[in-house]
Amino acid sequence: MRREISKWYSPVLNKEMDIVAYGEYGFALLLFPTAAADFLEYERFLLIDELKPYIESGKVKVYSINSINSESWLNDEMHPADKAKRHQQFN
């Protein structure tokens, strides 16, 4: 199974964002990490292993990206309005 990690720069967030792709072609499945986890969370928790037959057969190509929850909702030092603004930048 093909696995490719790359980065892209988000001018809106003003930071590089990590992304991992599994497979070569198929219906795009985009995964967002839970809470403050990272883009490799689903690999560590073996979800990618469960999807492997669908990935290898070309039914799906899975993408998993980083979140910015630690820079928004989970940041206890930010004002709630600033948390919402940062989250909106992620959208």
Give per-residue pLDDT as tens, 4-33.
999 999 999 999 999 999 999 999 999 999
In the chain, what are the domain boundaries?
3-90
pTM of the model: 0.87
**5-30 burial code (b ≥16 CB/10 A, e <16):** eeeeeeeeeeeebeebbbbeebeebe
How buried is 67 (Cβ within 10 angstroms: 0-12 exposed, 13-18 middle, 19+ buried)? buried
CA distances from 40 to 5, 49, 74, 83, 88 (A): 10, 12, 19, 24, 23
Q: What is the pLDDT of residues 35-82, one digit of tens each?
A: 888 999 999 999 999 999 999 999 999 999 999 988 899 999 999 999
